Chain A
Amino acid sequence: MATTYRLTEHHTAGGMSRWLPYLAELQPEFFCEVSPELAAERCLVHLGWATIVTARNAVEARVLITQRIPALTVAGRRLHQVGLPYHWGWAGYSTGDSANDLVEISLDPNVHIQEDKAFACDIRPGRRPRGAARPALVREYRRRAGITERTGTAP
């Protein structure tokens, strides 16, 4: 499960805070936070790279291993969490992949803030593929999970 949240140092989508050196230096890179158990399971290295994949997209983030993001036990099943701050984008003093690229655009009706804050994902070590290989990776995941454009829409 990925869960997105804010950091104190940046503001919403980061379009305003990523351009300010004083804020950018406080949180300079897009990172994901994982528990030590998940890191051990998926061979993630502290300050290394990880690729987070959903049915929509794949993004890359630096890894921060922390006890603050615990593994949950839900209905008797171990569920790991991946914490993702959503402040990054491709432009600015500090750049990085956007966490909200992992979900569809679902905006709250008043201020158009991304509604989805928690969703299923996979995480793997290493940087994400570039170019055409990136959607190819995502298509591979969809194929394995049996996800099509009609998934979740049937009555």
Chain B
Amino acid sequence: MDFSFFIMQMISGLTVATLLFLVASGLTLIFGVGDIFNFAHGSFYMIGAYLAFQIISVLQVNFWLGLILSGLGAGLIGIVAEMFLLRRIYGRKNEAGFQILLTYCLILIIDDLVKIIFGTEYKTLQRPSGFTGAVQIGDLYIPSYNILIIIIGIVVVVAAWWILNKTRSGKIARAAAVDREMLGAMGINVPLTMTMVFGIATALGGFTGALAAPLRSVTPGAGIEVIIDSLIVVVIGGMGNFWGAWMGAMLIGELTAFGIVFVPKWATLFSYLVMIIVLIFKPEGLFAPGKVRKV
């Protein structure tokens, strides 16, 4: 394996890792802050991808605007789902089980609705103009869209860090993760906070789906693959841990990228293997602080 090939694989792994991180961060955000496990998170990713196809390919809207609108659309659907469905089961006995059940029903419903609206055939989305080619570095050609994704990933990480640590909303969100009731006592509208966080998380999922659409074909049933991949990332990194999710995504992304070189057929199983090893030796996640977990 020569050096340029090595770099190529690394960039490809980094792209996968960034997308993985973006979608997993939404899952981990709503779990960490709201104690909600959104099993349908992958479906919001899928909604984002289909919205992008509809807005950009069919309605011929500008790519960048379309990307934002797809994210917002998924977030809006997320907000509606939270307000009318999830909110009704908060505080119920065995809430966690009902959350999974309710969001599972959402997967079934969204999957079929997508099939009804868009049909079952694969959809493709063109890369935006200016990002169809490759950037030459030395004798390397790196697809410019991949570089874009990696940069967006870095921007989101920095922005998330800034929001969580420096803004009032971020502090509220972090406080909600620790103690929901105390927050209510402080006069903060807890239901509204939960709805907004859910909206942001699903918007992040939808945005990632839209962003990934030019790289992967858009298909119904993509939701479950995405949720399992994100789940693996989140388990490796430690659930509810933003930075853990990032590290987990990097690990899985690179492992898959290089695994595919050596054992193309079985590379997708590597992530499971890593997860099993983590579970045996550090079930709370590789990057989790040494405190007792809530769940």
Whether A associates with B in a native complex is: no
B interface with A by C-beta (< 8 Å):
none
